[in-house]
């Protein structure tokens, strides 16, 4: 997902997306440990998406505090 698409999600959707991404990262790391991972670059992409989701959540939290 692109940053613009992530910014359009609601708070509940962001939380759900974060849980899904963390689960995917767990599965990828498990596959890496047992040498079944086909695309190791996916780990980095998932980590980046997690960081984007957390950044958007924090931006919204700070915006709410300033009001």
> pLDDT per position in the chain (67 positions), as tens?
789 999 999 999 999 999 999 999 999 999 999 999 999 999 999 999 999 999 999 999 999 998 7
Pinpoint the alpha helices (H) of the chain: 3-7, 11-33, 41-66
Here the tokens at position 41 are: 């670059």
Q: What is the CATH number of domain 3-66?
A: 1.10.287.310
Q: How many CB atoms lie within 10 A of CB 55?
A: 13
pLDDT, residue 3, reads 92
**Tokens matching residue 25:** 């990262």
* Phi, psi dihedrals of residue 2, rounded to the nearest 5°: -90, 160
* Residue 27 and residue 46 in contact, taking contact as beta carbons nearer than 8 Å: no
The pLDDT value given to residue 67: 78
């Amino acid at each position: 997902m692109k940053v613009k698409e992530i910014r359009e999600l609601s708070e509940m959707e962001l939380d759900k997306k974060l849980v899904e991404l963390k689960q995917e990262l767990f599965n990828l790391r498990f596959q890496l440990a047992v040498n079944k991972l086909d695309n190791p670059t996916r780990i980095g992409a998932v980590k980046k998406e997690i960081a984007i989701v957390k950044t958007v959540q924090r931006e919204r939290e700070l915006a709410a505090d300033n009001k």
